[in-house]
């Protein structure tokens, strides 16, 4: 997986050994997201997806791994508000930290996320760009461990895709 922070943007690129249609579904359907979203040791305890422009995805990640010390039992709520969807090709949303009621955090920075899905010889290239309102906002989430978290999350996605293909 390639990761790069530049200016206000954080970019990711990874090739998944799965067809584009399945990878797109993994990003857009609750039954898939519940199986892979979040870093290792974290589970989605709440996952409500309204996948359409103007719709939202409200979720809670909870640390279930006692080996993660102070994080054990910690909940992290998030909310994505979908702006643009091109089936199988592109998803654009604003990603917020939120509370359990879906109120967007004013303390932690949101970002606009642009996901592109590209077929490549039966595999899928996913390119993600998260654009923050400032370089300092990006620095804040990087210091919170975003790079490790998203790397583990996309590793879990690869594992989930493989398990779906094998079943």
60, part of any domain: no
| Residue 6 counted as domain residue | yes
pLDDT score of 80: 98
Sheet holding 2-6, edge to edge: 2-6, 9-16, 123-132, 111-120, 90-97, 75-86, 56-63, 42-49
Q: Can you give the residue range of the structural domain that contains 95?
A: 2-40+83-166
Is residue 162 assigned to a domain? yes
User: What is the chain's length?
Assistant: 167
Average pLDDT, the chain: 96
Using only the alpha carbons of the chain, give its radius of gyration: 15
Q: State the pLDDT at residue 1.
A: 83
Q: Is residue 149 part of a domain?
A: yes
CB 32, CB 159: distance < 8 Å: no
Residues in the chain with pLDDT values less than 70: none
The answer to whether residue 94 sits within a structural domain is yes
Tell me what pLDDT residue 161 has: 98
CATH number, domain at 115?
3.30.530.20
């Amino acid at each position: 997986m390639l990761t790069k922070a530049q200016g206000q943007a954080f970019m990711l690129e990874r090739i998944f050994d799965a067809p584009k249609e399945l990878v797109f579904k993994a990003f857009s359907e609750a039954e898939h997201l519940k199986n892979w979203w979040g870093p290792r040791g974290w589970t989605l305890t709440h996952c409500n997806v309204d996948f359409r422009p103007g719709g939202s995805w409200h979720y809670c990640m909870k640390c279930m791994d006692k080996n993660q010390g102070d994080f054990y039992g910690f909940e992290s709520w998030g909310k994505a508000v979908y702006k643009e969807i091109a089936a199988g090709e592109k998803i654009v949303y604003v990603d917020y930290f939120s509370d359990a009621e879906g109120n967007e955090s004013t303390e932690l920075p949101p970002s606009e996320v642009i996901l592109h899905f590209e077929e490549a010889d039966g595999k899928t290239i996913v390119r993600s760009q998260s654009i923050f309102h400032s370089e300092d906002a990006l620095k804040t989430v990087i210091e919170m461990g975003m790079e490790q978290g998203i790397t583990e999350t996309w590793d879990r996605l690869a594992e989930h895709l493989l398990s779906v293909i094998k079943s």
